[in-house]
């Protein structure tokens, strides 16, 4: 019987003498017991009982064997001991009798565990092992993007990698049941999946045979898409689907946890690179895109050959690129940089913001856990002090230190278990809440695969249990060593007037409080500044409606017709003051051209960053809708269309750059771009106010071109309708506009509605996350610290009641009594302020990056924190002071 065999193994834990003598009989007894236990429930209970017996008899037997006298000591003579289960039951009862303590300890521990576990899990998912690919540190990615012909050259000539691959993100339209579903996916070359080392869930993945011209059109689905749209049908392999209005055969499915080489949402679909002209939308729908050396749209990754390091590979790639690009052929001057793919995924190489932010969060969580432990410690100390009499009595009755420690262990375990359960629940809730935010680098937390990290949970639970053990055991041992007669004859509970440990703990709590408050204020100020900042256009009454014209594969003139019809239909709509189209999304979209001024012979800067100008293609009504003023000249109107005079509008900053100190209207410039006829001249007809791309950035010199005069851009990407509300809130205005768009042409898919404020907010997600978390932690800290302060002062007052009585009897004024009481709290508060200042100084460096050049700590914040702490102290002292004032000198003297 396996169970009995297990028990026989357990016997080896006992001293060998016992095992040899009585082992066989013990096994027999257990066997008999096991056989008589019929139901599974009985067996389970038997198991628990045997374990408890094992746990209690084992130390006793070993203790007996080790004792000097050869005789085994008789089993405990003084107090009945019946095992761990009994201890737990006793502990449970004593905890239930003191709900204030138990609930306080469990809730505190649970919150601390939940917060720290959640944040740690977040860090583990991003910094720990973000990408589920084998040996991710051997896979590197190029910092800049490549053109496809350049990649093919690299592929042919490289030796440093076992494989290289290129990929690029695309948008597709999947036709299902008469509707078009917008999908994001990847176009990949032959070695993409081998580098990633991923196995298909069903079917096969894209291979070399698929990435050649003329190969049949195939696709690999992502698991989520397979489940959602195709019901996880096992017959998916070989099924034709309609992608971007072309028939494509599905050959396999990849598991959901595979996200390519980035942390964003898992691609819904993968297609071979050769299929892009067939399936791509917008400018990717042209066959020339595969051969163009000037279109740099490929991400390039490679798996390093064993023994090759990154620097060597980087040098080889650079050499290959330089060799294939003699000096005057459009060469990118920036050196080749290869970055480990895991770092690239979280944008680490482009900014240390993410790491700094996560460290900040980690610090806050450690602080929260520290706070929780300090609170529990305080609770334990208070509780043990209150039980000094009980402990003394137990000692008198022969309770023994070991017995008491066993009880304490049981209580700590129960509190730890309760806290852990609550903590796991809290951690899940926190992770859910976090999912709607994003991290620096634009990583949406909701896209990460977040699980409650076991390590963090274990550490936090251990911390909590250890704290309660430590701070419960010390006073307990102290109490049990005390001569019982002295304790009993005392006539009651007397807490020590000096309580340095408790004051120190409360000081710690105050310090954490101060630091968290200051941090929340910092983030709050940053957000306030961000939302109040004038970006040059209206944030309150505008909204954006996205028209996904590329998904519908509408030809250029169809797009123009649609847009014009929409503007006409919106012209008289109530609630909409103005509306206009833009090809680039405000705050986010970016398109750059170089402008050349004819006759300008001044030397052109070699740095492309200096020459590039942000450009947007807009229609009439745009400036009015955005509330960007046209300072001189005029905005675009209905005359600015194909066939009319070629015009442009410049922003103030651009005007100053191109024609410093001069009048821009009437000036001429031309666009230097591969896609345009370089001889076309544009006349400036207006100068518009400057806008800013984001909070804390400088004014952006902008060039505006009339959308209807540049038909070739009509199919390059989606189009955005800006509407300004009149008398209604922007969301309603946007909804009305969307309805109008549907009536104009129902075939054009709409991508969503966002007010400009929401739009701005989505670019400030990280700050909002920081504010939310810090404010949450700070509120918790304030609550717990307030309670701690109160307890310290109250107990101090109680302990000094006699002294106060004497002083009052001797004629001390009320003010003296108040001062005496207040002084109890002074130590922890002063210490806490200093500690908090120190903690905040440590974090200041990390916070500074989010402050938009605001100072991390300004006078108002410091004042606010000081007032906050003072208020907290005052509230905590209120009741004890009243009690101190109410001390009756005669009874105090008598007592």
Partner 1 sequence: MSDPHQPLSPAVFHILLALADEDRHGYAIMQDVEARTDGIVRVGPGMLYGSIKWLLADGYIEPSVRRARQEGERRRYYRLTPAGRALLRTEAARLEAAVSLARSRRVLPRRS
The residues of the shown chain that bind partner 1, judged by CB under 8 A, are 14, 18, 21-22, 24-26, 28-30, 32-33, 49-50, 52-54, 56-58, 60-61, 64, 71-78, 80-81, 83
- Rounded Cα gap, residues 211 and 316, in angstroms: 25
Toward partner 1, which CB reaches closer, 74 or 231? 74
- Rounded Cα gap, residues 401 and 389, in angstroms: 15
CB of 412: closest distance to partner 1 in angstroms?
24
CB of 476: closest distance to partner 1 in angstroms?
24
CA angle in degrees (0–180, nearest 5) for 189-190-192? 70
Toward partner 1, which CB reaches closer, 25 or 698? 25
547, 567 in Cβ contact below 8 A? no
C-alpha neighbours within 13 Å on the C-beta side of residue 670: 13
Toward partner 1, which CB reaches closer, 1 or 885? 1
Toward partner 1, which CB reaches closer, 1 or 747? 1
- Rounded Cα gap, residues 75 and 60, in angstroms: 7
From 725, 709, 545, select the one nearest 625 (Cα to Cα): 725
CB of 41: closest distance to partner 1 in angstroms?
15
Toward partner 1, which CB reaches closer, 53 or 353? 53
Toward partner 1, which CB reaches closer, 35 or 697? 35
CB of 405: closest distance to partner 1 in angstroms?
19
Toward partner 1, which CB reaches closer, 52 or 413? 52
Toward partner 1, which CB reaches closer, 57 or 768? 57
Toward partner 1, which CB reaches closer, 49 or 144? 49
Toward partner 1, which CB reaches closer, 26 or 822? 26
- Rounded Cα gap, residues 289 and 586, in angstroms: 27
For the chain, percent helix, then strand, then coil, each to nearest 5?
55, 15, 30
From 258, 262, 269, select the one nearest 197 (Cα to Cα): 258
- Rounded Cα gap, residues 489 and 473, in angstroms: 24
| DSSP code of residue 537 | S
Three-state SS for 92-131 is HHHHHHCHHHHHHHHHHHHHHHHHHHHHHHHHHHHHHCCC
CB of 42: closest distance to partner 1 in angstroms?
12
CB of 886: closest distance to partner 1 in angstroms?
42
- What is the DSSP annotation of 187-232? EE-TTHHHHHTPPPSEE----GGGSSTT---EEEEEHHHHHHHHTT
Tokens of 344: 């690239």
CB of 9: closest distance to partner 1 in angstroms?
14
CB of 15: closest distance to partner 1 in angstroms?
10
CB of 11: closest distance to partner 1 in angstroms?
9
Tokens of 218: 């195939």
Q: Rounded to 10 degrees, what is the CA torsion of 707, 709, 711, 713?
A: -40
Toward partner 1, which CB reaches closer, 33 or 641? 33
Name residue, tokens 């590979």. 313
CB of 25: closest distance to partner 1 in angstroms?
5
The angle, 0 to 180 degrees and rounded to 10, between the axes of the packed helices 765-799 and 814-848 is: 160
CB of 73: closest distance to partner 1 in angstroms?
7
Toward partner 1, which CB reaches closer, 16 or 845? 16
Toward partner 1, which CB reaches closer, 50 or 424? 50
In Å, what is the CA distance from 717 to each residue of 183, 471, 555?
A: 15, 64, 12
CB of 75: closest distance to partner 1 in angstroms?
5
Question: How does strand 647-651 pair with strand 681-688?
Answer: parallel
741, 566 in Cβ contact below 8 A? yes
CB of 395: closest distance to partner 1 in angstroms?
17
Contacts of 670 (CB under 8 A, 6+ apart): 595, 596, 597, 598, 678, 679, 680, 681, 682
Tokens of 187: 């176009």
């Amino acid at each position: 019987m396996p169970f009995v065999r297990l028990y026989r193994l357990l016997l080896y834990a006992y001293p060998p003498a016992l095992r040899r003598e009585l082992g066989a009989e013990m096994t027999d007894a257990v066997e008999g017991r096991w056989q008589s236990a019929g139901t599974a429930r009985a067996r389970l209970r038997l198991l628990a009982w045997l374990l408890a017996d094992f746990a209690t008899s084992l130390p006793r037997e070993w203790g007996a064997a080790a004792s000097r006298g050869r005789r085994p000591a008789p089993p405990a003579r003084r107090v009945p001991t019946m095992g761990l289960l009994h201890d737990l039951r006793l502990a449970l009862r004593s905890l239930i009798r003191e709900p204030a303590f138990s609930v306080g300890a469990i809730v505190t521990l649970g919150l601390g565990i939940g917060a720290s576990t959640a944040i740690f899990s977040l860090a583990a998912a991003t910094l720990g092992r973000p990408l589920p690919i084998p040996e991710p540190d051997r896979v590197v990615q190029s910092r800049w993007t490549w053109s496809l012909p350049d990649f093919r050259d690299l592929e042919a000539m490289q030796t440093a990698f076992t494989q290289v691959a290129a990929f690029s993100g695309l948008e597709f339209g999947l036709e299902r049941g008469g509707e078009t579903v917008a999908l994001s996916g990847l176009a990949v070359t032959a070695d993409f999946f081998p580098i990633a080392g991923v196995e298909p869930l069903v079917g096969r993945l894209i291979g070399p045979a698929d990435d050649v011209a003329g190969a049949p059109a195939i696709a690999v689905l992502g698991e989520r898409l397979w489940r959602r749209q195709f019901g996880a049908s096992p017959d998916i392999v070989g099924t034709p689907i309609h992608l971007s209005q072309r028939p494509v055969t599905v050959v396999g499915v990849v598991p959901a946890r595979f996200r390519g080489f980035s942390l964003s949402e898992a691609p819904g679909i993968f297609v071979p690179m050769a299929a892009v002209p067939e399936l791509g939308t917008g400018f990717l729908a042209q066959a020339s895109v595969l051969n163009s050396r000037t279109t740099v749209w490929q991400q390039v990754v490679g798996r390093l050959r064993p023994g090759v390091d990154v620097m060597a590979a980087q040098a080889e790639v650079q050499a290959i690129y330089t060799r294939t690009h003699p000096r005057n052929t459009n060469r990118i001057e920036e050196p080749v940089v290869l970055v480990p793919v895991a770092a690239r995924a979280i944008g680490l190489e482009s900014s240390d913001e993410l790491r700094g932010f996560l460290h900040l969060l980690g610090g806050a969580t450690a602080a929260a856990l520290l706070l929780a432990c300090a609170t529990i410690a305080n609770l334990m100390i208070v509780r043990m002090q209150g039980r000094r009499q009980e402990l003394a009595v137990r000692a008198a009755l022969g309770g023994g230190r070991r017995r008491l420690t066993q009880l304490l262990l049981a209580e700590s375990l129960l509190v730890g278990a309760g806290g852990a359960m609550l903590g796991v629940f809290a951690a899940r809730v926190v992770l859910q809440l976090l999912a709607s935010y994003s991290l620096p680098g634009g990583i949406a937390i909701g896209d990460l695969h977040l699980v409650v990290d076991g390590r963090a949970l274990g550490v936090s639970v251990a911390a909590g249990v250890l704290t309660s053990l430590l701070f419960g055991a010390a006073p307990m041992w102290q109490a049990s060593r005390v001569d019982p007669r002295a304790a009993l004859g005392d006539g009651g509970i007397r807490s020590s007037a000096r309580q340095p440990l408790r004051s120190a703990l409360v000081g710690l709590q105050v310090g954490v409080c101060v630091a968290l408050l200051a941090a929340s204020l910092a983030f709050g100020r940053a957000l306030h500044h961000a939302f109040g900042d004038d970006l040059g256009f209206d944030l309150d009454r505008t909204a954006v409606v996205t028209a996904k014209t590329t998904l519908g594969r509408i030809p250029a003139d169809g797009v123009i017709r649609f847009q014009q019809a929409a503007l006409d239909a919106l012209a008289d709509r109530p609630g909409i003051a103005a509306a206009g189209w833009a090809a680039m999304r405000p705050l986010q979209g970016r398109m750059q051209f170089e402008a050349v001024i004819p006759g300008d012979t001044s030397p052109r800067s070699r740095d492309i960053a200096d020459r590039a100008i942000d450009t947007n293609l807009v229609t009439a009504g745009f400036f009015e809708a955005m509330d960007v003023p046209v300072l001189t000249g005029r905005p675009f109107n209905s005359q600015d269309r194909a066939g009319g005079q070629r015009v442009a509008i410049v922003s103030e900053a651009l005007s100053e750059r191109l024609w410093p100190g001069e009048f821009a209207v009437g000036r001429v410039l031309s666009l230097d771009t591969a896609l345009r006829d370089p001889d076309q001249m544009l006349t400036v007809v207006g100068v518009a106010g400057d806008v800013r791309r984001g909070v804390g950035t400088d004014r952006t010199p902008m060039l505006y071109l009339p959308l209807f005069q540049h038909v070739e851009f009509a199919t390059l990407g989606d189009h955005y309708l800006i509407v300004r509300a009149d008398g209604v809130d922007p969301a309603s205005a946007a909804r009305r506009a969307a309805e109008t768009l549907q009536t104009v042409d129902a075939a054009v898919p709409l991508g969503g509605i966002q007010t400009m404020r929401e739009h701005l907010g989505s670019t400030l997600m990280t700050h909002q996350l920081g504010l939310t978390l810090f404010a949450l932690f700070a509120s918790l800290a304030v609550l717990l610290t307030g309670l701690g302060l109160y307890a310290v002062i109250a107990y101090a007052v109680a302990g000094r009641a006699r002294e106060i009585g004497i002083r009052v009897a001797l004629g001390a004024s009320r003010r003296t009594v108040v001062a005496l009481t207040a002084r109890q709290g002074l130590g922890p508060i002063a210490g806490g302020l200093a500690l908090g200042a120190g903690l905040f100084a440590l974090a200041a460096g990390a916070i500074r990056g989010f402050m938009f050049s605001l100072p991390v700590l300004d006078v108002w914040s410091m004042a606010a924190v000081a007032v906050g702490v003072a208020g907290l102290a005052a509230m905590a002292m209120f009741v004890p002071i009243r009690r101190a004032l109410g001390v009756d000198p005669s009874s105090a003297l008598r007592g």
